[in-house]
Chain A
Amino acid sequence: MSAAATRPEEAPESSRLPVLLWLAWRFLPPLHRQDQRTLTWVGASCAYLAVPLTVGLAADHVPGLTLLSLLFLSAPGLPIWWMSAIPLGERRRETSLALRQARINTRSAAATSISRQVAYPAAGAIAGTVLIALLHGPIGRALPAKAPLAIAIRSASGNWLLASVASVALLVALTAVLGTKGSADCYAKVRRLATRIGRREAAPQPQ
């Protein structure tokens, strides 16, 4: 076979779709340890956050105090979520750049490289929403009557399916936002600030 074969022509967008889907599929399995860590932390934090979020979305006429309590319940998951969404965003940008170097146009490269960024948080969020959608009855009964989660579950309108779908979509979209370069820069600033404050507190105080 000669290398000097005929020059291939540009294929229409529709015939490129199977190749782009195949690529998107190939990006899903974690490639190295860093990917595995990202999958674990993004998945776990999204699963955790999906519980109060789904309850909040399914409930109507929830008192403000209960909503605030749900927000506080989410708080422990937020830093891990933000921290793990950043490497996920970086991997997406790297993949998109490599795709563009392989002569894939910017739009297709962006659409193809996003598969990992959708799948990882979606896996966790689906696990969390399925858990709460199936077990909200027993959980509501098991918790003390005045517990905010129990109050929110009792006031749920019953549209758990809609709330679950909305919750997964919201978590996937927000993970993508947290993975942007702007978010990474903001995270770095927050860390620097926290380190500075930590150092100041650790410094010996004058007697």
Chain B
Amino acid sequence: MSVPSDNPVLNAVGLVFPADGSVLRGAHLAVGEREAVAVLGDAGSGKSVLLALLCGMLEPAKGSLWASGRPLHVLPTDQRQTVFRRRFGVLPQDCRLLPELTVAENVALPLRLAGMRSSQAIGRSRVWLERFEIEDHASSSAADLPKPILRRAALARALVGDPTVLLADEPLADLSVPTAESTARILRSIAASHGTAVVVFTREAMTAAYFDRTIKLADGRTDTMAATAPPAAVPLLASSEQAAEFGLPLGRTR
């Protein structure tokens, strides 16, 4: 277990959900650039809720969330969602591709929506499929894919926009041991080569062992190793008054 980053790309401080803290009662998480971290917790420990809070699908009752020193918790909802879409890649546990499209078209979709030309986007999606060693399936319909291939294609789709943070829920589930090892190696190498902060959520200690650092989540709390102070350059805003001082509106509602 290594020491968490001093200058985190993603920093969650004291996340509570819901208001009574019955699911999460003070989760801390700090992940630095080029770091590949595993959040390890049993079923019902609050992993999926933590992931949903980190990627903006849920709103914390308390706590703050910072991305590259930017306080996301004080941004208006639409601005915050834009940051999440542009800077975060997410692999949900129940990952889905569009069965009407080919694998390459699915992976290229975020790029096409970002305004990239079709041929260029497809070209780039093929590079990512090659990286995940599934380039042979690029032209196959996503409807015909077995789950392990689908999961790696979904990982490629989450990474094709070159996000600063990748949040992946059980990315190695359904994979054979050699494929899981190779996928974990690819994720670590992506963290190193792209500077992406990779956060993997898992309940398997074996999966967690593939990554640089493990943060344990139990009873809605993360272990103390994960807790760090927010970046010194940007002070934590404790109240709406402080937010107003910075000229930032509070955007707590979805």
Q: Which residues of A contact B (CB under 8 A)?
A: 1-12, 15-16, 19, 23, 26-27, 29, 31-32, 94-95, 97-99, 101-105
Task: Flag if B127 contacts A1 (CB, 8 Å).
Answer: yes
Instruction: Return the chain A residue nearest B98 by Cβ.
Output: A98
Task: Flag if A1 contacts B193 (CB, 8 Å).
Answer: no
Task: Flag if B124 contacts A5 (CB, 8 Å).
Answer: yes
Q: Which of B6-14, B112-120, B171-179, B202-210 lies on the face that meets chain A?
A: B112-120
B131 / chain A contacts, CB cutoff of 8 Å = 3
Nearest CB of B to A31, in Å: 6
Task: Flag if B100 contacts A11 (CB, 8 Å).
Answer: no
Instruction: Return the chain B residue nearest A18 by Cβ.
Output: B112
A11 / chain B contacts, CB cutoff of 8 Å = 113-115
B62 / chain A contacts, CB cutoff of 8 Å = none
CA distance A11 to B110 in the complex (A): 10
Q: Please give 9 more A-B residue pairs, beta carbons under 8 A apart, in addition to A8-B111, A8-B116, A10-B86.
A: A3-B124, A4-B193, A7-B163, A10-B85, A31-B99, A101-B95, A102-B113, A102-B157, A103-B161
Task: Flag if B101 contacts A26 (CB, 8 Å).
Answer: yes
Nearest CB of A to B167, in Å: 12
Task: Flag if B114 contacts A101 (CB, 8 Å).
Answer: no
Instruction: Digitize B159-203: 1 where CB-to-A-CB distance is under 8 Å, 0 elsewhere.
Output: 001110000000000000000000000000000011000000000
Q: Is B24 an interface residue (CB 8 A)?
A: no
Instruction: Return the chain B residue nearest A94 by Cβ.
Output: B96
30 cross-chain CB contacts under 8 A? A3-B124, A4-B162, A4-B194, A5-B124, A6-B162, A7-B161, A7-B163, A8-B115, A8-B116, A8-B162, A9-B115, A10-B82, A11-B115, A15-B115, A16-B113, A19-B113, A23-B98, A26-B101, A31-B99, A31-B143, A94-B96, A98-B96, A99-B98, A101-B90, A101-B92, A102-B98, A102-B106, A102-B157, A103-B109, A105-B85
Contact status of A104 and B114, CB under 8 A, knowing A1-B127, A2-B127: no
Task: Flag if B98 contacts A95 (CB, 8 Å).
Answer: yes
Q: Is B123 an interface residue (CB 8 A)?
A: yes
Q: Is B103 an interface residue (CB 8 A)?
A: no
Among A10, A11, A19, A102, find the residue whose CB has the most chain B CB atoms closer than 10 A.
Answer: A102
Task: Flag if B162 contacts A5 (CB, 8 Å).
Answer: yes
CA distance A125 to B105 in the complex (A): 33
CA distance A109 to B52 in the complex (A): 19
Instruction: Return the chain A residue nearest B142 by Cβ.
Output: A98
CA distance A97 to B98 in the complex (A): 9
Nearest CB of A to B56, in Å: 11
A94 / chain B contacts, CB cutoff of 8 Å = 96
B92 / chain A contacts, CB cutoff of 8 Å = 101
CB contact between B81 and one of A4, A12, A98, A105 (< 8 Å): that residue: A105
CA distance A1 to B128 in the complex (A): 10
CB contact between B96 and one of A10, A26, A29, A101 (< 8 Å): that residue: A101
B109 / chain A contacts, CB cutoff of 8 Å = 19, 102-104
Q: Is B104 an interface residue (CB 8 A)?
A: no
Instruction: Return the chain B residue nearest A27 by Cβ.
Output: B100
